[in-house]
Amino acid sequence: MGAQEPAFLMRSTVNLEQTGSPRHEHLSTGLYTLMDVVCSGCHSPMGWQYLQASHEVSNQAGRQ
Ligand SMILES: [Zn+2]
């Protein structure tokens, strides 16, 4: 407890935090919901993640 934990700090690829609000992108393959993600350690922008990929707009409510 309180000691340095380098093993934890190195796991940067999984320390992502979603930020902002979801946005929708209509691509040729369907409708995608994207969210911006930041590093949960230093809050640097890390890009974005797909929240879901759906061909049906009507799918977006419920059934989570
Ligand atoms: Zn960071």
| pLDDT digit string, tens, across residues 5-56 | 555 545 445 588 999 999 998 889 888 899 999 999 999 999 988 887 655 5
- CA 3 – ligand 1 centroid, Å: 19
Which residues lie at CB < 5 A from ion ligand 1? 39, 41-42
* Residue 62 within a domain: no
**What's the domain range around 20?**
16-53
* Residue 24 within a domain: yes
- CA 9 – ligand 1 centroid, Å: 9
Cα dihedral 34, 35, 41, 43, rounded to 10, equals 120
Partners of 27 in the β-ladder:
30
* Residue 27 within a domain: yes
Q: Who wins on pLDDT, 2 or 48?
A: 48
For the full predicted model, state whether its pTM sits above 0.85.
no
Domain count within the chain: 1
- CA 19 – ligand 1 centroid, Å: 14
